[in-house]
Structure 1
């Protein structure tokens, strides 16, 4: 009975029926004040943008159910949302190996780096997650090289050409063969800011990638217009568990692309949610063969408007002017003290501005604010 009711409330939250979820939770909580119910209340509060309330509930849950990996994982996100950056990173790393954060552990093969002298040592940084995470956290090769390490980056072979300009990187290997590579220590990529002691405000948001020359030449002939050129991406990787809340139905962009002062271009790498068409929206998806192609496309734009996707990170790493439409309870890279009213900058990428969704599941208002923001961003 209890588990069924909790699942029903979770389903209401997932389906964006927050008032109904709150009403049922309030009634249910009176008779069942368990930590499972408090956990659901924490999730609901965060999705209502009541971050401090969610944080306070999470603090209580740490005392009574602190070994639960999901409690620690979601409280890490609460911590980031209220500005407790290092606490959030510590909590994230505390649940590694429990299949809620990060990639596979390589520690049975080689030791994790924990501050040892890196001079003359080989350090492997193991990328995790999708393309966006790999691009975002590969920037830290430079800091480890400055500590004296010879740095190997284990990522995905499709990214090798794009990531080649990274400072401080000595070699790249595919993540699938990382355990067969010779190195002294390793670091999970998403742990880099924590182990390096980099505070949120001290992240270097300068561009660190460049578009391959042959791709730039190719896309110069494809992305052409006498009007400002704006790229659109409304779909992330549909295999990501939370994609249904970060991706936006393409049809909602109809009022935006109807503005003929601008020319719009789309590249939707994933086939889902890609049926929206418009006379003022050129589809260049068929010209994309790899991530370097995406860099070529992005390098020709005057502005890129996107959801939190791999393309968002590639654009930021290239220094392309970008407007990110971010969901409520966004992933931790863009979830630090979110401002749900105004354009918000991010230290991750100097060229990026963020508009946070005001209400869970409702994108119309966010897109309306984006339309008003375009002239100020060009």
Structure 2
């Protein structure tokens, strides 16, 4: 019956929005079993499978839909997205092009082609595909996709026009507002950018945090007589970088309590005296972090809260260089001393350069943000230095290739857990003269303890920069692509900076 089907679809979409993927899929599976020829139920179930991470099941169902309805654009797009997620982006792009030849007016196919090309670094297709989708259907989503692609290429004026068009058509779209915020921040327009960045908290976004807090949210008013709770929300690297603002914030509040990743608690307690530090209580469901607060004290607890990523906005922080040249986090001296001794006992040059070339977040599309190993060749020919691996769980093949580029064995210190033992990673980073890294938590931590750090990224991300220098961590400099896909310029700049930093050490 239509009513029961409509109710099923509405309930399932609500469950998906709440990150309750298993319940949504179970409901839809029952519905499809009762009505196996219902295209809309099958499509919604395939979409739920894909978004919940059951990519193979999604691909199978999208494939069945596509075979039954070869001209159904939604099925072709879903199948292509699954193929890309499963590691076959070229196959996905070829299939979308063939579909577009048969159905040249299918705007969503060009949009999907642009998205897959963007995530996989096939840069020649991106702007053309998104431009075609806008020409066919000038929707908010299509304008937003084109705006993002243009902004990533530093074509800011053109991007601005399409962001404005997207926001005019859908002014309440959290995804458009969040992407627009990053577009502003990367240009250094921080006043407007931080305000727009609040969109990241919209619960309609699948990765927005969910909390059990009943406290009022701090609105930026005087807190000299108030106890403020700063809550965690982003990845480990962002948490470290944004924590650089905590000393300033602590000076404005009667008391500050900071929620953080459990791996950071002891490091923060040592480095941020007077601030109460507590590990978060969090579970992840469907990509969304769910935070609970049973640990808050019944007496003398916080009376308002703010997200760590909103501190810059509430402080009305201008674009300026930070005053933490020597870092703001203090490694444990009892861990640092023996590590320094171990490095001192190694043969070869006494100046040490740490290397980290990959990120722990390996979701689809992330790898294109970072240079391939071959791009490191010239950078690793730095004279009179020894290289140390800061990459956790590196492969033997990676170590062998990087050792070949540097002309020496890349040292790996045994007995260290560089992923979970943040205290040891902080102490080791503090023993080094320089760190060369992609934009990950290791780079943020190295800069936070005051070690000169050069980060290599395809784009600056959300971090406002001043001539490449990080506006949160004075020790960090980001080298990014000026031409999408071309790592030669950022690597050349990184080498120049590395030589300069080593000469100053």
Q: TM-score range by the shorter chain?
A: 0.7 to 0.9
Give the TM-score of the pair, scaled to structure 2.
0.67
| Partner deviation per Cα, 1:243-272 (whole Å, 9 max, x = no partner) | 323333334323333445221111212557
**Alignment partner of 1:302 is 2:407:** no
- Larger Rg over CA atoms: 2
SS of the equivalent of 1:358 reads coil
Structure 1 residues 170 and 22, CA, compared in 2 at 3 Å: closer, same or farther? closer
Q: Tell me if the contact between 2:261 and 2:280 (Cα under 8 Å) persists in the aligned partners.
A: yes
Q: How far is 1:85 from its partner?
A: 0.7
How far is 1:211 from its partner?
A: 1.3
1:355 to 479, 487, 491: 479
- The one of 124, 132, 137 equivalent to 1:32 is 137
Q: CA deviation at 1:186?
A: 0.9
The answer as to 2:122 corresponding to 1:17 is yes
- Alignment match, 1:199: 318
Which runs of structure 2 are paired with 1:224-373 in the superposition (5 Å)?
224=344, 225-239=348-362, 243-259=366-382, 261-271=384-394, 275-277=398-400, 278=403, 279-284=408-413, 286-288=415-417, 290-328=421-459, 330-333=460-463, 335-336=464-465, 344-373=468-497
Cα deviations across residues 52-73 of structure 1 (Å, max 9, x unaligned)?
Answer: 3212321232222121111111
In structure 2, stretches of 5+ residues that fail to align are 1-105, 283-291
Describe how 1:34-183 pairs up with structure 2 within 5 A: 34-98=139-203, 100=205, 104-106=209-211, 108-167=213-272, 169-176=274-281, 179-180=293-294, 181-182=296-297, 183=302
Tell me, what secondary structure is at the counterpart of 1:186? strand
Aligned residue pairs: how many? Answer: 371
For 2:321 and 2:377, how far apart are their aligned partners in 1? 38
Q: 1:111 to 1:271 in 2, by over 3 A?
A: farther
8 Å Cα contact 2:227/2:255 also seen in 1:
yes
Quickly say closer, same or farther: Cα 1:131–1:31, change in 2 above 3 A. closer
Contact 2:139/2:166 (8 A) holds in 1: no
Q: Deviations over 1:207-243 (max 9, x none)?
A: 2111111121121133234342111111122246663
In the alignment, the residues of structure 2 paired with residue 149 and residue 40 of structure 1 have an alpha-carbon distance, to the nearest angstrom, of: 44
- The answer as to whether partners of 2:107 and 2:134 remain within 8 angstroms in 1 is no
Given the two structures, how large is their TM-score scaled by the length of structure 1? 0.88
- C-alpha deviation, 1:78, in angstroms: 0.8
The residue correspondences of 1:215-230 to structure 2 (distance < 5 A) are 215-224=335-344, 225-230=348-353
Contact 2:148/2:159 (CA < 8 Å) preserved in 1?
yes
Secondary structure of 2:411's partner?
Answer: strand
C-alpha contact 1:81 1:336 (8 A) present in aligned 2: yes
Cα distance in 2 for residues equivalent to 1:368 and 1:105: 43
Q: After superposition, give the CA deviation of every residue in 1:258-287 in whole Å (9 maximum; x if it has no partner).
A: 445221111212557973321332123752
C-alpha change, 1:145 and 1:246, in structure 2 (3 Å) is: same
Compared CA separation, residues 108 and 37, structure 1 to 2 (3 A): same
Structure with the bigger RCO (C-alpha within 8 Å, sep 6+) is 1
SS in 2 for 1:221: helix
In the alignment, the residues of structure 1 paired with residue 215 and residue 261 of structure 2 have an alpha-carbon distance, to the nearest angstrom, of 20
RMSD: 2.7
